[in-house]
Structure 1
């Protein structure tokens, strides 16, 4: 069972589970980016330097494939009616090839404001049966993961429980700086947001399952026998 403050979106064997603040974080072990019964990311955390006690304004889902969590920074002063300088929107959406991450930072003040915006990723490559939060019958295995730098991002390369090699690629067209450690990668930027304006950045994840198209289901039924049954039922109702 997921905690009440988590949100789940899923489509064609892919799932994203985020916590109350819209992040994938080890602090809430049920969260993750999943593909075909494997959790490929155990952390996808969006942060802004400065405030820690963000207030959750709301959450919206779109077509069960995306979720947006909107946060507001603490008020400037202590009086009633004080404005909140920042609004931070975190949007994660399942796409044909993986996942889209969109971050929107809005400046609610009358002056330009500066901040450092960061998005951190940590790979996992664990089977869902190894995740303790899901009453796993298997012991979680820590598998080595290589992080390869790319021109427009990074690639996480690891192996599954059956020793099959898989990779997750993170790319972006936004002007972001990339830093890499042994077990994570962080994309960051020093942003300046004009008054009453919004700055957005986007990153794309390509998951091992490749491109998937959700089929359109035709709901119109072309069946003469079915039409006769419907007509017979309608006549019976009218004769009562």
Structure 2
């Protein structure tokens, strides 16, 4: 009788080992299947829910981090150039330049600072309280031409109007016809806006597009280097 009980136990042990091994194999196969599904899902761009200002909600497809809508690029260029060349005695050119230069790449700032002061009377730069004003009138901004991943080139045709002195009614027109190279950024360059100054707040909102001006060339050049 004792022999039969030991025999039954010995017969059960191989069955238990085989069942355990089969369960482990099944678990490994399920993990491999889940891993392959996660890889396929990670390769797909999910849709995002966006709430508009008027309360409507829309679902949009995600884009690559370096992709930008053409109208977003044109708006960025137009508003950046307008703010950069629009100043008055209440908001002198030095303050405007200090704020708007953050929308340029680091190696571009010193080069373009000369462009912003071109045509400004020396007396205005030395004494900004002389009722001088500057305004940029944009005539045309071309559609962006993609030249590389996250880089575009477009043209802007405009006139700078500079009014100097209390008796100046007709502004001096300076042509501003340029090719502009735009580069996409991975992160927003300006982190904390100066809420006390509306100019800084406007620049912060504009920088939310995560774009920067990488170069500015004469419009006659085929491409900005």
With the length of structure 1 as denominator, give the TM-score of the two structures.
Answer: 0.26
Give the number of the structure whose residues are more often helix, by fraction: 2
Larger radius of gyration: 2
Structure richer in strand, relative to its length = 1
TM-score, normalization: structure 2? 0.27
